[in-house]
Structure 1
Amino acid sequence: MPDGPLTRERIWATAEDAIRKYGPAKATVVDVARALGVSHAAVYRHVASKAELRDLVVGRWMETIMPPLRAIATKSGPATERLRELFGALIAVKRRRSSEDPELFTAYRALAADAQSVAAAHVDELIELTATIIRTGVRDGTFRTVDPVTAGRALLFATSRFHHPAHAGDWSDPALAAAFVDVWQLLMDGLVTGRKPRKSE
């Protein structure tokens, strides 16, 4: 008998176990149903297809990293500090996931490549969180008059090497931290009002 009512939350947790066991390409709805002790038809009442199961798994995984990022975007404080904190937290959580469970992290990378609408929604929220901070900085004169969403997208893409899972293989490079400092300095030189770029040595 299944242990408790069947919910999307239980399906997600069990699907994650199946992905870990069989890999993202081989894990199926039948595997999930078997592990839950229910028929695959029962699972299909909650997820209509293997593709929807994949989207559920990827979406829930992405959602688990968002609460602290949302908190940073909406708290008070200088915009420059909040923006740096936001990207520092994003980088830290992605790298922590990669180092704590590299096999599952790799599996999620593979799944996310197919879950394009879910991944796009995740990126859109990251852009909007960045734009939220930029918007306050523009209002108080800290940042130049820019379109917050356009600038947020540019910041996210310009720093992708440091937090996008596609670049996870680079994250063990000891020179990466210094590279991020240089990239961030350059980005802030272009965004902060009255800031003069550093002269080259």
Structure 2
Amino acid sequence: MNTTAQPLRRGATPEETRRRIEDTAEALFRSMGYQKTAVADIARELGMSPANIYRFYASKSAINEAIAARMLTGVEGDIWTIARGREPASERLRLLLRTLHQRHMALFFSERRLHDMVTAAMSEHWGVVERFIHSIQTAIRHVLMDGLASGEFGGIEAERTAESIKQATLPFTHPGLIAECMANIKSDTELAQDLEAMVDLLLRALRP
């Protein structure tokens, strides 16, 4: 499989080499799928030996995690931008959950092979995913704390409520569950409407 990657230049720094390995791996994951991509395929594209790849990544699993981290870091950044915004807490909570849903839906429709990798990462509890989930729950807690401080929310314990909101919205924010919903003839429009209804219910429960 040719991804049109250029061979790695002589004298490349370790940082450049890691970036090129990850760029090439991501391109192959998009075209072949992460399970079908071998370290030898990545090495071949870069004009390297597999042994050289292993100088920078201890295993294929380490490369998988690096690419998953790339996919999730952008989502995490967007979520925290929303969480730290100045809008009312209820608006931020809705936008946070909607954005998380939309980003995973976009991956499902436009990058199915990468979606499959993220789904596997969540199902198999890869370390990068555990950190991502913790960060998202912390962002939800941040919004709840702001809502409590402003009087917009009341009568809740932020940490436990953030966990409950995360669990309640899993069908809309977990890549694997989204795929199951779509397989059961649930349209993307219906799924988005169901999420909005769930958020309406959650916000009513959060009011003082």
Structure with more contact order per residue of length (Cα contacts < 8 Å, sep ≥ 6):
2
Q: TM-score range by the shorter chain?
A: 0.7 to 0.9
Question: Residues of 2 paired with 1:98 and 1:71: CA distance?
Answer: 23
| Aligned residue pair count | 193
CA shift at 1:107, angstroms? 3.4
Distance, in Å, in 2 between the alignment partners of 1:166 and 1:40 is 32
User: Contact 1:97–1:105 at 8 Å: present in 2 too?
Assistant: yes
Change (3 A) 1:119 1:108: same
RMSD: 2.0
Selected match of 2:195 from 167, 171, 180? 180
Question: 1:189 maps to which residue?
Answer: 204
1:115 CA displacement: 5.1
CA distance, structure 1, for counterparts of residue 22 and residue 159 of structure 2: 32
Q: Quick one: structure 1 residues 32 and 111, their matched pair in 2 at CA, closer, same or farther if it must change by over 3 Å?
A: farther
For residues 56 and 50 of structure 2, the distance between their equivalents in structure 1, rounded to whole angstroms, comes to 10
2:8 to 2, 5, 14: 2
Report what 2:152 is aligned to. Answer: 142
Q: TM-score, normalised by structure 1?
A: 0.86
**Gapped runs of 5+ residues in structure 2?**
1-6
Cα deviation, residue 113, structure 1 = 3.3
Distance 1:151 1:8, change over 3 A: farther
In 2, the alpha carbon distance for the partners of 1:18 and 1:86 equals 31
Q: Shift in Å at residue 124 of structure 1?
A: 0.4
1:3-152 equivalences in 2 (<5 Å):
3=9, 5=12, 6-114=16-124, 116-152=126-162
Check conservation: 2:30, 2:111, Cα contact below 8 A: no
Post-superposition CA distance 1:160-180 (Å, at most 9, x none): 111210122324524323322
* Pair 1:10–1:126, CA change in 2 (3 A): same
Give SS of 2:132's match. Answer: helix
Once residues 121 and 203 of structure 2 are traced to their aligned partners in structure 1, the CA distance between those partners, rounded to angstroms, is: 34
Aligned match for 1:168, one of 171, 178, 191: 178
Which amino acid is 1:165 matched to?
P
Asked if the contact 1:24/1:111 (under 8 Å) is kept, the reply is no
Say if 1:111 and 1:84 are closer, same or farther in 2 by CA, change over 3 A.
closer
Q: How many percent of aligned residue pairs carry the same amino acid?
A: 26
Q: CA deviation at 1:111?
A: 4.3
- Cα distance in structure 2, aligned partners of 1:164 and 1:93: 11
In the other structure, the counterpart of 1:198 is: none
Contact 1:138–1:144 (CA<8 Å) still a contact in 2? yes
Deviation at 1:83, TM superposition (A): 0.8
